[in-house]
């Protein structure tokens, strides 16, 4: 996950706090403890429906659906314990952070938990949404799960551990000597432990994007790296003479006496790829494969149907039967290059020839429906838990609906920057959100809960009680602080009003508003159709009405908004400045 050429656009002039370890914070506040302190918005339900044509046909027997994790699940890393597979993805400044996923067959995945769940572990306050947690690596070794990752602008590289991947995970073990991003932890068969990562090269960059891969030995007892062990494994990439950019995401493996180093190269956009090196010893040079890259889509025609692009950043896992598989990120695009839903997780088999692994031959397209892995275990069926929603599907077309009947937020919901939930409450089959003054364009924690947009074509809707005067409430499609839509309801000059705000690279502006007849409740709906987005409302049980014309959905694409996340859809409430009947501020 490089953050070089996009940094200026990402930080957008914000003053970040610098790379210092997270401070120990107070214990988390229980949800709803201060809910009576200010007016609340009350939501009856939330509904999300995926409608992608690429997912519509039934799966042929013996195949599975790629991506296995649709929507914003980038930088996947995978490990195995027995017959169980566990995967983690980047989460940036969303909380809880570092989603942990579980599968028994490599293709049917369940969101199990999160590794970052409390403020003693991490502090994202004041960070732009595409900062925070970059690419993690997860490994299982002798009864312990290890997560190593980077928190950008707030402490750097660190390790978490757990004996149960469902948690709880430890507080961070900080690694102040290790600079750069995308750390990997590798347990050698002689008992030594190593950390590899992306970082600056000796003597300075020869060109923009010139980076290297470094290796340190790590002492797991002292929980420190050995400073004298630092060495450069790769300078620039596969062939320095071609000026390769953004060598990163290293993962080390040992197979049949060879050390293999899998990396990403080419940046996170359409030139992204996975490349492989090997060596007989960690003290000898790593030699690149002659047929690198072993995964990319950059050599394919841009106008191909249903394109999958940006493929790279891979990790390997071996099944108990000895087969090898890769997880990697890629994105499904519309109009050739645009995607709103972030980079997704795909799975493909790894073949071996002449001692080298290959994910996909150059010139071949990533298949949407490959043959299923040959595994001896059946998919795990999660037991129903009273009062909780069943696990949400993570790919294909599906309908996900939350009636807010659980006493806790469902695992699919995320907050921004902070773990504090004192401003929300689940009670009487409603989600109550205490309005805050924080706007969606601020660096604070807004009163906003969201889940991933996982399809190009979708509908998302909710029903809420008409909010009290002084606050607004409604639905949001959020890419980042400068690019989002807010479809809200408020009391304006003694009149109930539905309105639409748009942030298009600057402060949010109201695009449309419509006064409504007296009502107890309002339904809101956001409908996405690739690069178009439409907004609707309905009063009480009335018919849906469009609020204005179709809007520009490309504002929510990575290509326009920049950054590393995907669009999130959710519910929001904000304190409003009161106005008089003349429209003047009081």
- Give catalytic residues, as residue numbers: 75, 248
The structure tokens listed for 518 are 């007296």
Gyration radius (Cα) of the chain, Å = 24
Beta strands at 295-296 and 308-318: parallel, antiparallel or unpaired = unpaired
* Distance, CA of 230 to CA of 399 (rounded, Å): 50
Specify the 3-state DSSP secondary structure of 575: strand
> How far is residue 82 from each of residues 112, 113, 160, 558, measured CA to CA in Å?
17, 19, 21, 38
Residue by residue, DSSP assigns 15-47 as ----S-PPPP-PPPPPTTTTGGGS-EEEEEEEE
Residue 350: name the closest of 404, 426, 274, 461 by CA: 274
Neighbours of 514 (CB within 10 A): 14
In the chain, DSSP finds a helix count (H) and a strand count (E) of: 2, 40
Q: How many Å apart are CA 68 and CA 57, to the nearest integer? A: 16
| DSSP per position, 76-139 | -EEEEETTEEEEE---BTEESEEEEEEESSSSS-EEEEEEE-STTT---TT--TTSEE---EEE
Query: What's the per-residue H, E or C state across 476-508?
Result: EEEEECCEEEEEEEEEECCEEEEEEEEEECCCC
């Amino acid at each position: 996950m490089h953050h070089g050429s996009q940094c200026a656009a990402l930080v957008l002039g914000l003053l970040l706090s610098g790379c210092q370890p997270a401070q120990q914070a107070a214990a988390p506040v229980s949800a709803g403890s201060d809910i009576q302190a200010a007016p609340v918005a009350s939501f009856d339900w939330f509904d999300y429906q995926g409608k992608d044509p690429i997912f519509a046909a039934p799966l042929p027997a013996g195949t599975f659906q790629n991506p296995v994790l649709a929507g914003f699940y980038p930088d996947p890393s995978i490990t195995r314990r027995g017959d169980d597979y566990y995967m983690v993805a980047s989460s940036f400044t969303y909380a809880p952070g570092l989603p942990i996923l579980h599968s028994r067959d490599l293709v049917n995945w369940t969101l199990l938990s999160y590794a970052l769940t409390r403020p003693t572990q991490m502090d994202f306050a004041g960070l732009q949404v595409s900062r925070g947690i970059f690419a993690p690596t997860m490994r299982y070794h002798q009864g312990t799960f290890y997560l190593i990752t980077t928190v950008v602008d707030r402490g750097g590289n660190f390790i978490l551990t757990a004996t149960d991947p469902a948690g709880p995970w430890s507080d961070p073990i900080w690694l102040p000597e290790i600079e750069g991003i995308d750390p990997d932890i590798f347990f050698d068969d002689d008992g030594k432990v190593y950390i590899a990562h992306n970082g600056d090269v000796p003597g300075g960059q020869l060109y923009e994007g010139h980076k290297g891969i470094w290796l340190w030995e790590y002492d797991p007892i002292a929980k420190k790296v050995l400073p004298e062990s630092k060495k450069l494994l790769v300078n620039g990439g596969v062939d320095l003479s071609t000026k390769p950019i953004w060598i990163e995401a290293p993962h080390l493996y040992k197979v049949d006496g060879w050390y293999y180093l899998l990396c990403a190269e080419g940046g996170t956009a359409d030139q992204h790829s996975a490349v492989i090196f090997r060596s007989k010893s960690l003290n000898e040079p790593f030699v690149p494969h002659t047929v690198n890259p072993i995964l990319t889509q950059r050599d394919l025609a841009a106008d191909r149907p249903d394109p999958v692009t940006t493929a790279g950043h891979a990790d390997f896992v071996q099944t108990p039967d000895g087969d090898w598989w890769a997880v990697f990120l890629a994105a499904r695009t519309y109009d050739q290059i645009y995607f709103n839903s972030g980079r997704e997780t795909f799975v493909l088999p790894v073949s071996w020839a002449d001692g080298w692994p290959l994910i996909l031959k150059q010139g071949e397209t990533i298949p949407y429906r490959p043959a299923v892995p040959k595994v001896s275990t059946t998919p795990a069926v999660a037991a129903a838990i009273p009062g909780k929603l069943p696990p949400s599907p993570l790919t294909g077309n599906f309908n996900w609906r939350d009636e807010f009947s659980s006493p806790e937020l469902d695992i699919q919901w995320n907050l921004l920057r902070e773990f504090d939930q004192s401003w929300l409450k689940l009670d009487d089959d409603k989600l109550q959100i205490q309005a805050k003054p924080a706007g969606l364009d601020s660096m604070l924690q807004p009163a906003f809960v969201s889940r991933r947009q996982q399809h190009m074509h979708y509908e998302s809707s909710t029903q809420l009680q008409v909010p009290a005067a002084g606050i607004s409430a409604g639905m949001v499609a959020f890419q980042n602080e400068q690019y989002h839509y807010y479809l809200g309801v408020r009391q304006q000059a003694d009149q109930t009003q539905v309105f639409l705000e748009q942030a298009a690279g600057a402060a949010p502006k109201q695009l449309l508003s419509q006064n409504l007849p007296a009502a107890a409740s309002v339904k809101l709906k956001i409908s996405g159709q690739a690069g178009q987005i439409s907004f609707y409302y309905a009063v009480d049980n009335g018919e849906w009405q469009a609020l204005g014309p179709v809007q520009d959905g490309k504002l929510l694409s990575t290509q326009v908004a920049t950054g590393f996340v995907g669009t999130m859809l959710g519910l929001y409430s904000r304190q409003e400045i009161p106005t008089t009947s003349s429209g003047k501020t009081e």
